[in-house]
Amino acid sequence: MVKEDNGTRSFRDYMKEVVGKVLRRMENGEVPVSGAFPRMIEFFQNPDEASRSAVGRFALSVYKMGSDIVTDTAMRFVEAAAYTPDGSYKSSRIVASGTNQEIVETLRSSEFPDELEDAYAQLLDIMESSD
């Protein structure tokens, strides 16, 4: 995965920015402590020109699975996703789960950027191989 955007901002810079946006929205109460809520999602454009034909943008979202799948009303999931340039298809992976507090702690952890970058690289590989 090429990490530069015209030599000015790295992929990791964009990724950290989207993590910060999700974290702020969680801290501002957009994700309730329990119960259902609309999926919260933040996107960033793929800065790598060489792989843009496979992945146009990446996303990070927080959501609650349906009660028929997960009965714990406080359980939330964090998903990393890669979308085709036209947005018609995505590949995604759960990168964290837990209560709001656990997710906030995960997003703030020093390990999370490496884990998220690995997840995005895997999603990009999947998308490029299905191209």
Task: Give me the average pLDDT of each 10-residue run along the chain (131 residues).
Answer: 60 95 96 94 94 95 94 96 94 97 96 96 93 63
Alpha carbon distance 5, 130 (integer Å): 24
pLDDT tens digits, 79-99: 999 999 999 999 999 999 999
Overall pTM > 0.85: yes
pLDDT of residue 6: 54
Alpha carbon distance 4, 9 (integer Å): 6
What residue has token string 């690289």? 121
Backbone angles phi, psi at 13, to 5 degrees: -60, -45
